[in-house]
Amino acid sequence: MGAGNSQPSEEQRREYMERVVRELKRDEDLRRELFAKVASPAPEDEAKDSDSNSGNSEPPREPPHKIEHVEMGEAGTTTYRLQARALDEHLSLWHDVPLRHEGTPYLHFVCEIPKWTKKKFEIATDEHGTPIKQDEKKGVLREFKTGASGCLFNYGCLPQTWEDPEHIHPDCGVGGDNDPLDVCEIGMRQIPTGGIRVVKVLGVLCMIDEGEADWKILTIDVNDHWAPLLNDVSDVEQHIPGLIDSIREWFRNYKVADGKPQNSFGLNEECMPAAYANKIVSECNQSWFDLISGKRTRSDAPKITSLNCNYRLPMLQLSPDQITELQKLSDKEEDEQMSQHHKALL
């Protein structure tokens, strides 16, 4: 479904998006000031440091440099984990990857499940370091059972977002699902598990899953062949007709094979436009900030500490150069995966 029959003019849409970007930039500047306060030691800690032997004090922590994906455990088992690391530091793909791509209106997307695959990989939000694992239920690894080819899109999440269960959204009447915001990246290329891409927000579906809001942000890799043509839901409907309907129906039915009822959708099942989707992103980014700053708690996850989140430690958030390095790493992994796939076909 489109965003409605009455569409704003291109000039109105551009002016609105410029205003949204300005507001997001202002909010981001305010958050950076607050983060500096959160990361600063408490007065009693400063007093302890001043009394301690300066020769035994630890030097300031430097940002990590060489970034790599480390596989732990045995693939295809419940012990398997994919962990991003830099030198000896665990990097949380949820907490340490910036949400926003510096200097642009675009966002960073972390891929958990490559398109055309079935294994349900996800960020382990309740584990230290928040690695990626294959979801399980009663010791059995989960896979999508809908469709012969698995996922229709690259499926993952937006870092530094959180759907707060106690935030009852006025437009759908239910709280969040206690996880990062889900993302459907609709580009042509398959992105490997753990891959990071810079994406453009196109729209959002409000899926209701067992009484919880489970927003699905539609995006496209800014380097994708289709990206120059797609800026909003109406563009997707024009250039790739039927895709949004297919994604909605996929989400409606993907749990039926497991004996569960169909999922429903809020907002009259409409795929809302990019401006609305960006509001949802901003709200969930604020909820994530409330979580890591201690204003809110997540009962089923460990306390956000230096063991699973480097963001609160000064200078440890990934820089744009390090994000680029992670993208190159996932590009290399993607090429290797495609090479293996081609060899299997010969």
The tens digit of pLDDT for each residue in 179-232 reads 999 999 999 999 999 999 999 999 999 999 999 999 999 999 999 999 999 999
Q: What is the pLDDT of residue 146?
A: 76
User: What region does 150 belong to: left with phi over 0, alpha with psi -120 to 50, or beta?
Assistant: left
Q: What is the pLDDT of residue 163?
A: 95
One-letter amino acid of 167: H
The ranges assigned to domains in the chain are 65-345
Q: What is the pLDDT of residue 337?
A: 54
- 206 and 171 Cβ atoms separated by less than 8 Å: yes
Q: What is the pLDDT of residue 262?
A: 94
Question: What's the whole-model pTM score?
Answer: 0.73
> For the chain, which residues score pLDDT lower than 50?
1-5, 31, 34-65, 305-307, 311-316, 338, 341-346
Q: What is the pLDDT of residue 27?
A: 52
Q: What is the pLDDT of residue 13?
A: 62
**Computed from CA positions of residues 323, 326, 330, 336, in that sequence, does the dihedral angle turn out positive or negative?**
positive
Phi, psi (5° rounding) for residue 75? -60, 140
Q: Which CATH superfamily is domain 65-345 in?
A: Inorganic pyrophosphatase (3.90.80.10)
- 308 and 128 Cβ atoms separated by less than 8 Å: yes
Q: What is the pLDDT of residue 34?
A: 43
- 179 and 124 Cβ atoms separated by less than 8 Å: no
Structure tokens at 150: 């698995």
Q: What is the pLDDT of residue 278?
A: 97
First CA to last CA distance, the chain: 41
- 193 and 109 Cβ atoms separated by less than 8 Å: no
- Could you tell me which of 159, 83, 72, 156 has the C-alpha nearest to residue 121? 156
Encode pLDDT of 137-191 as tens digits.
Answer: 889 999 998 776 789 999 999 999 999 999 999 999 999 999 999 999 999 999 9
Collapsing DSSP to helix, strand or coil, 144 comes out as: coil
Phi, psi (5° rounding) for residue 172? -130, -10
Number of alpha carbons in the 13 Å side-chain half-sphere of residue 22: 6
